[in-house]
Amino acid sequence: MLAALLISAAALLADAEPAENPFDRTIQLRPALADGANAPHPLALAVPTYDRVQGDATPIYSQAFLMLPRTYGDDLDESFADQVNTALEQEPGDLDRDLHRMIAKRYESSLDLASVASRRSQAGMHTTVREFGVAALLPQLNPAREVANALRLRANLAADEGRWDDWLSDVTTMIRLSQQIADHDDAVLVEGLVAAAIGGLALDTIHKADSVPDRPNLYWSLLAVDFDLDLLALLQAETLWIEASLPELADPEAMTADRFVSLLARVNELTEFAGDGAGPLARMASNTATTAFMLAQARAWLLENTDFVEADLDAMSPFEVIAHYLGESVDQAYAELFRITLMPLPEAIDAAEAFDERIQDPSYGSLLVQVLMPSVTRARVSLVRLDRERDGLIVIEALRDHVARFDELPDTLDAVELPLPRDPGTGEPFGYERLGENEAVLRAEHVDGFRDRDSWTWKLEVAGE
């Protein structure tokens, strides 16, 4: 539900870099042993238990957010935001160091606090969504995005200058920030999507440092990274959010004309927040004919999809009938979502695509379903895409280790001594092809239902020292 309203927050964090035909990315593969002298501790990216501090991260993040130099919203500093955007386009090995140092200095206090918060044992950035609705998420998600981008810039500067301990520290903070956003019992889908997007930024930051000499091998460290995003739990939490956002649906028998107008006003607020102030339910508060039409839909749907019979509906007020219709249709739609999340890929993708198409049909559910349901296809793919990126990086690090040991790329992935993950999108090994003495291709193959950018082809070039 919340994903339908705040999906743009996740989109702003997503890597929108256009593909370079025929390769999505060319990686300078610099050999480095996974267990070499400069290899980081295996738990370097996981904030190991011995380095954690008891306490709640939330108030520390809140202070960090208050100190941010805003690059969004009413307090936007346009000139500084432009400088940040320019810096974000640069990669280690080709940075404007003075620009990055200036930006890092302005963010220093916030980033240092975020680093402290990332080590706290209680990792949930709790909000008051149930009490105050969807807007309660904004004080957390938008600043979290800015912190993630600032960490990325500071990490890129550290990589460019060869300060690998500082680089690892900032990448670790990004990963922990990603984990903490959705690490509480009430986390909803949009929090999971933003968490996945920030996790993707952390992985992309690792990617961006591939071409820098002496970058340590992160094979064992990446194996310890678990973003732990449970799509089913996130969707289940959203059903609880309904009780807070649309309390009128909790007691259909008490639905009156006044309560019905209140319900429509609440939905109007949601559609305005989603950038759709003229949404179908928003118009009903002032359109009696449309409300009457909705009553006809409600009766037909309830008779078809519930145990109600004509006599039951005749005994109800029109508003009570509509209240049952709205509540039951949302409940049934979420039940279908839960079923889809438990399916394995690719069956889940096919079912999710069918569901996304079906909810646009008024005969499937109420207009409330159309307004509030998230795109389950996008949600499922976004979380799989994060795991694909991490596991692809693990394969890259294993190949760096192989080249360091044998002075050449393997002919096949079977020749790599370190254990390799399978592609989470297909359940099969990642695609690999050696092109020549110092070149190869690694692929996450296309899966039906995935967008083009959810699969990738990386060209690997062994870099000379």
pLDDT in tens, 241-270: 777 778 888 889 998 888 887 887 777 666
pLDDT in tens, 3-61: 444 444 444 444 444 444 577 888 889 999 999 988 999 999 988 777 888 888 888 99
- Residue 460 β-bridge partners: 27, 440
In whole angstroms, give the CA distance from residue 352 to residue 392.
Answer: 25
Task: Write the DSSP symbol of residue 453.
Answer: G
**Quick one: pLDDT band at residue 435, thresholds 50, 70, 90?**
very high
Per-residue model confidence (pLDDT) at position 428: 92
Residue 275 has pLDDT above 50, yes or no: no
- Residue 431 β-bridge partners: 443
Task: Write the DSSP symbol of residue 23.
Answer: B
Per-residue model confidence (pLDDT) at position 7: 40
Per-residue model confidence (pLDDT) at position 130: 47
- What are the two backbone dihedrals, phi and then psi, of residue 365, each rounded to the nearest 5 degrees? -160, -175
Residue 74 has pLDDT above 70, yes or no: no
Per-residue model confidence (pLDDT) at position 276: 45
**Quick one: pLDDT band at residue 377, thresholds 50, 70, 90?**
confident
Q: What does pLDDT average to over the chain?
A: 83
Helices (H) and strands (E) in the chain, counts: 17, 6
Copy the structure tokens of residue 414: 């079977």
Look up the pTM and report it: 0.85
Copy the structure tokens of residue 270: 């949601």
Sheet of strand 456-462, all strands in order from the earlier edge strand to the far edge: 25-29, 456-462, 439-444, 431-436
**Quick one: pLDDT band at residue 137, thresholds 50, 70, 90?**
low
**Quick one: pLDDT band at residue 238, thresholds 50, 70, 90?**
confident
C-beta of residue 34 within 8 angstroms of C-beta of residue 403 = no
E runs forming strands in 264-331: none
Per-residue model confidence (pLDDT) at position 232: 87
Copy the structure tokens of residue 370: 């159309």
- What are the two backbone dihedrals, phi and then psi, of residue 211, each rounded to the nearest 5 degrees? -85, -5
Task: Write the DSSP symbol of residue 421.
Answer: P
Report the SS3 class of residue 435: strand
Residue 104 has pLDDT above 50, yes or no: yes
Per-residue model confidence (pLDDT) at position 413: 97
Residue 2 has pLDDT above 70, yes or no: no
